[in-house]
Amino acid sequence: MKKIILVSALILSLSFCGCSAEGDNSEKTESSASQGAEVSADESGITYTIRDVSHDTSTGDRIVISDDQDDISAPDDSISFKDACDIIDSCNMEELYLPQSAKDYKKLYCSTVKYQGKDYYSIYNYLEVKGQKIPVGTNCLVACDGSEILKKDWVGGYDPVKKNTAKNDKSIEDKYPDAKITPNEAITDAAEKGEKLGLEYEVSSYVFEADDTLTEINGVACYKLTPKTEYTNSIELHTAIYVNAYGSGEVYLPVLGTDKYTTIS
């Protein structure tokens, strides 16, 4: 029997990575459609796909995140790429699904795209780990005329973000008072594990989010990280990865169908 769950409750539980399916393998699939969104888990119980169903759209094509930093182009009279990055840095971190200030990340230029008839720089915030660029948060579209910034949301569309709101950023100490390392250091610890994480693609192919609270795993306070795959019309959220918040480097992965975790060091 297919389990039906109200999407409003699911969206809240998925927010900031409360989305992993570990510990419950009793149902093959889960799905819901309400308020213009559909949430489903595949048969393995490790992936949620979220898409906008207010229109008749498919999941879409997987977005391959590429680095074209040496070939930045934009229409005449556009703001510079640096100015576009400054606009991102002016935004509240939580609005961009970031665990730290946008200024704490380098910026990855993917392309200049046209969205709803307007030109935008397509940009990711990222961390560099062992020569790989690890995207964090979500895709940002900054208008080439500087007028606005959009973010890719949890149902695969784009929403406007208010500029000049970084003053509302919480400090790391306020968000994670029990942590000894920063969220970015936790993401780095996870990314350094590479193939050990069991992801289908290279770790740099995923966009990482961090929960806004610590989670206890095996008696240890951990950062909860969720790798995301972005599609043109949807977002795919994979099983959460837990990183020891005390800085000893351990990463914990759930053993599906159980309440146990395997340790990667």
Enclosing H/E stretch for 124: strand 118-129
- Give the tokens for residue 181: 């390392």
Distance of CA 92 to the CA centre of its chain: 15
Convert the pLDDT of each residue in 91-113 to its tens digit.
999 999 999 999 999 999 999 99
Q: Measuring CA to CA, which residue among 163, 124, 164, 122 is closest to residue 144? A: 122
d(CA 16, CA 251): 18
245, with CB counted inside 10 A (0-12, 13-18, 19+), is: buried
Residue with tokens 């969206």: 11
Averaged pLDDT for residues 232-251: 91
Lowest average pLDDT, out of 44-48, 176-180, 193-197, goes to 44-48
Convert the pLDDT of each residue in 204-228 to its tens digit.
999 999 999 999 999 999 999 999 9
Structure confidence at residue 135 as a pLDDT band (50, 70, 90): very high
Q: What are phi and psi of 106, to 5 degrees?
A: -80, 170
pLDDT at 37: 58
d(CA 177, CA 200): 34
Whole-prediction pTM: 0.83
Please report, as a single letter, which amino acid is at residue 137.
Answer: G
Residue with tokens 């790429």: 81
Structure confidence at residue 15 as a pLDDT band (50, 70, 90): very low
Lowest average pLDDT, out of 10-19, 168-177, 236-245, goes to 10-19
Structure confidence at residue 156 as a pLDDT band (50, 70, 90): confident
Structure confidence at residue 32 as a pLDDT band (50, 70, 90): very low
